[in-house]
Homo-oligomer: A and B are copies of this chain.
Amino acid sequence: MADQVSEQTTNRLSLYLRFLNDLDTNGVRTVSSKILAAQFGLNAALIRKDLSHFGDLGVRGVGYVVKDLRQRLRRILGLDRRLNVAIIGAGNLGFALADYPGFRQEGFRIVALFDTVRAKVGLSSRLGVRIHDIRDLKRVSRRVGITIAVIAVPTGAAQVVVNTVVDAGIKAVLNFAPGALRVPRDVKLKSVDLTVSLESLSFHLARGEGARA
């Protein structure tokens, strides 16, 4: 079952979870697939299908119990476990990611920053994430257990850094450096291309101007 789950499905589960967090905070007890559909501009059947991958989560005539569905989604996404994240690269992007509120809200623990620049080692981000020497990655990972490494270094340095991460035994990598990276088969790599979002806006602007012309 979980094998048939696409990346697009898990991405939608994340967005459902964020909305369920809001509903729960606001004391809402149940939610229908119709309301979820309206919130995300999707059709209700797709949402029911997404959620049915993981067993029958809905209650006929009621929809979904917010607290239950939230807990189930957290478990499905693996967020009920300790997830220690290290950020590699203590530049502007690294600091921004180290203190990004969204990560902490979902339970990710940002345990360390790493950099090659000696002068930065020992300093901390505004929220107190300490910078370590990249040469200590394996040692720190053995001590605290790093689940995910986030690559926030310039493109030219990214492959060398990823090799160091792999060598330290870390099995999941989130990459923000533009360009392709190679990892062994047993390491899961996900790259974030921030330009995609800008281009989506550009597409809509171009289309909108065409319609008005």
Q: Give the residue name and chain of the B residue nearest to A147 (CB).
A: B205
| Partner of A77 from B93, B100, B199 at Cβ < 8 Å | B199
**Number of copies of this kind of chain in the complex:** 2
* B101–A92 CB distance below 8 A: no
A43 within 8 A of B: no
| Partner of A199 from B10, B91, B150, B202 at Cβ < 8 Å | B10
**What are the interface flags for A1-19 relative to B under an 8 Å C-beta threshold, 1 for contact and 0 otherwise?**
0100101101101110110
**Chain A contact residues (Cβ within 8 angstroms of B): what range?**
35 or more
Contacts of A155 in B (CB 8 A): 101
**What are the interface flags for A89-122 relative to B under an 8 Å C-beta threshold, 1 for contact and 0 otherwise?**
0011101110111110110100000000000000
A135 within 8 A of B: no
* B188–A14 CB distance below 8 A: no
Stretch binding the partner chain, chosen from A61-69, A136-144, A170-178: A170-178
Contacts of A103 in B (CB 8 A): 194-195, 198
